[in-house]
């Protein structure tokens, strides 16, 4: 009568490669409820609470990447010790050497797991060999937690941050599970001061947390997953089988899919952190409302774009070494930003396109004599949004496809075999997909004041209504989700 189902317990405790733990999975939602109860009980015991969160975070990462959670330990111990030593070292040369060690460890791990096969494939022709990919597993989120840890050692090197004296606190910063595997990339100087503060979650914070979680779940598990499985994947898997208009709307669908997928994860991470008493910076700000490519990167993946600006672009010289050098620095920053996304020439070209566009836009603004922060209005703004959105969509073609041949096929079909007369037939055949796409873009282009209004209204709701709102969203997710778990797109980065 009380027989224990050991297989279920094993499933909870062990890594399942086909079922990684993600925020929208039933297992996480169930475990988070139990986690929250213990977290509240430990609210007045800082060290015990921090240790509990670190252990849960390592478990969370184990459920996402298996035994590769030891990489978190390597990064944590190494950068904690290096930063501590750096703060006690006076000579600039010695401190720079310590920073180089930190860079070598973090970027070395990143390069080995992410780029070994990429560079190996490039070098094979030198000895007329045949390329056989090495069996190297890419740990989930390695690009995120290595960059996050580097922000700490670089800030300590620049004397912008005092190093931590407790390794437990640093482990908390590096491994904090809400943003561990897909960001946002939280800066050490923004997050570390919050670690030892008394645990306090105001009514406003709780309400905002509920809003972000509901918003993120809806974006990811309802809009993104549905249009991906039922439309976008079909187009991108075989672009040559479809007309130009079908390919075009496949690109529009992917633009919405990747936004809802990634911003949905960020929203859930921000919401969960708020429920735990921590504040993360906003990672997306309606990016398709951007009226220039520069504005787009002020709105898209903000934590990465600002990281690249502060730790790469400025380190290269920024705009301090003349106009030509500024354009080169912009291009190199985005080129490396593209490579950060994946070990593929597609990502390199994607980054190069954005780098060239940023340089051209900066040059154009200088010709017009526009000041930094000056924006367009009226029809100029509308035209800017239209051009920027379609340039970004054009770049998504290379980002999403695995080969250049597939990208060129898709572009060729759009420009040479458009067949606009198929539009109504396309909509008729994919009614739910186009309804969700229309809803997704409508919500995206609504005025910011509408989102702020909804956020405030959710914050004012009684606790029971907020609970019912989350329950209703989870029920909706269950009704529309596909049979298989759809991992977040940025897990691969």
Residues belonging to the active site: 341
Tokens representing residue 100 in the block: 């180089």
Is residue 433 packed enough to be buried (19+ CB in 10 Å), middle (13-18) or exposed (0-12)? buried
CA 87 to chain centre: 31
Interaxial angle between packed helices 404-416 and 244-275, expressed in degrees from 0 to 180 and rounded to the nearest 10: 120
CA distance 197 to 172: 13
CA distance 347 to 226: 25
Q: How far apart are the first and last CA of the chain?
A: 46
Tokens representing residue 387 in the block: 């051009």
Assess contact for 260 and 350: CB atoms under 8 A: no
* 208, HSE (Cβ side, Cα atoms, 13 Å): 16
Write the DSSP symbol of residue 5.
-
Residue with tokens 């633009």: 255
Q: How many CB atoms lie within 10 A of CB 334?
A: 26
CA distance 419 to 177: 48
């Amino acid at each position: 009568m009380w027989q224990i189902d050991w297989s279920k317990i094993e499933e909870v405790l062990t890594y399942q490669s086909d079922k990684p733990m993600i925020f929208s999975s039933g297992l996480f939602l169930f475990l988070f409820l139990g986690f929250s109860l213990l977290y509240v009980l430990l609210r007045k015991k800082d060290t015990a609470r921090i240790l509990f969160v670190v252990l849960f975070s390592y478990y969370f990462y184990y459920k996402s990447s298996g035994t590769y959670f030891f990489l978190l330990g390597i990064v944590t111990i190494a950068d904690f010790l290096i930063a501590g030593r750096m703060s006690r070292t006076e000579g600039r040369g010695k401190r720079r050497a310590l920073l180089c060690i930190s860079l070598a460890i973090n970027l070395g791990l990143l390069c080995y797991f992410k780029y070994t096969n990429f560079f190996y494939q490039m070098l094979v022709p030198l000895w007329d060999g045949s390329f056989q990919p090495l069996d190297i597993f890419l740990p989930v989120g390695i690009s995120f937690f290595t960059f996050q840890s580097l922000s700490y050692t670089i800030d300590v090197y620049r004397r912008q941050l005092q190093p931590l004296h407790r390794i437990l606190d640093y482990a908390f910063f590096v491994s904090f599970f809400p943003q561990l595997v897909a960001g946002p990339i939280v800066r050490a100087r923004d997050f570390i001061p919050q670690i030892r503060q008394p645990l306090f979650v105001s009514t406003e914070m709780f309400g905002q947390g509920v809003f972000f979680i509901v918003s993120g779940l809806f974006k990811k598990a309802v809009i993104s997953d549905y249009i991906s499985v039922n439309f976008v994947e079909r187009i991108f898997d075989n672009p040559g089988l479809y007309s130009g208009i079908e390919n075009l709307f496949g690109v529009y669908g992917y633009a919405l899919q990747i936004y809802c997928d990634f911003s949905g994860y960020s929203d859930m991470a921000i919401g969960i952190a708020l429920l735990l008493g921590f504040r993360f910076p906003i990672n997306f700000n309606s990016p398709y409302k951007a009226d220039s490519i520069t504005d787009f990167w002020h709105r898209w993946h903000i934590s990465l774009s600002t990281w690249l600006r502060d730790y790469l672009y400025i380190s290269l010289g920024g705009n301090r070494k003349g106009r030509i050098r500024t354009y080169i620095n912009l291009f190199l920053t985005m080129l490396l930003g593209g490579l950060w996304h994946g070990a593929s020439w597609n990502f390199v070209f994607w980054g190069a396109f954005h780098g060239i566009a940023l340089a051209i836009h900066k040059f154009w603004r200088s010709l017009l004599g526009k000041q930094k922060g000056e924006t367009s209005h009226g029809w100029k703004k509308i035209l800017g949004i239209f051009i920027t959105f379609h340039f970004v969509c054009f770049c998504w073609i290379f980002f999403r496809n695995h080969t250049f041949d597939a990208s060129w096929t898709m572009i060729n079909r759009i420009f040479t075999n458009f067949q606009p007369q198929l539009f109504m037939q396309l909509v008729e055949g994919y009614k739910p997909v186009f309804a969700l796409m229309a809803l997704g873009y409508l919500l995206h282009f609504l005025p910011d004041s509408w989102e702020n209004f909804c956020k405030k209204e959710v914050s004012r709701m009684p606790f029971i209504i907020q609970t019912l709102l989350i329950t209703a969203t989870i029920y909706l997710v269950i009704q529309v989700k596909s049979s298989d778990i759809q991992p977040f797109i940025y897990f691969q980065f």
